[in-house]
Amino acid sequence: MRKNTAFLIASLLGLSALAIVLGTGIAFADVPAVGAMAPDFTLPSESGANVSLRDFKGKWLVLYFYPKDFTSGCTIQAHGFQVDLAKYQAINAEIVGVSVDSSDSHKDFCAKEGLNFKLLSDTKREVVTKYGSARDATPTSMAARNTFIISPEGKIAKIFLAVQPTKHSAEVLQALNELQKAK
């Protein structure tokens, strides 16, 4: 009995360590499952207008969570999506970024970096939490770098956890192409 208990504890600690190693700082159980309906949201964009999940019905949505405007990794990731924006639009897909930064910060980030897709402000960390992408529960918590592809029907079709910003847009485009072929 003692060996089984020790094995169980070691296994649980290993899974916790894996979540930390991957940089998510979250339990995998908090992330909505592939095939589930995407959690609903309404958040203000960089322009101050509210944007909701329902606004994308009938389109593929790439909903990506990122830690902070104006940081190197987040800028690289955003530039990747911007460079490929026409490719996304050609396959009926929209890009939307979410962080806990303010709408004003997003507005400045979009202007400085030439971003032409929506960035949503989740200062209350509600949507970040719904998508299992909250790094921690402190007042200065940020979003984990996770991406969700949501189908035109509003279901989660693919999840990327703890992504690497440099090649992420290419990975997402490849996954979208595969998902669309499978439909």
3-state secondary structure of 28: helix
- Of the candidates 19, 62, 74, 156, the residue annotated as catalytic is 74
What are the DSSP calls for 57-71, one per residue? TTSEEEEEE-S-TTS
DSSP run (H or E) holding 130: helix 126-130
Distance CA 152, CA 149 (A): 10
DSSP run (H or E) holding 164: none
Q: Give the strand order in the sheet containing 156-160.
A: 118-121, 93-99, 60-65, 147-150, 156-160
The identity of residue 63, as a single letter, is: L
Annotated catalytic residue 110: no
**Contact residues for 53 (Cβ-Cβ < 8 A; gap 6+):** 38, 39, 40, 41, 42, 61, 150, 154
Distance CA 144, CA 129 (A): 10
Residue positions annotated with a catalytic role: 74
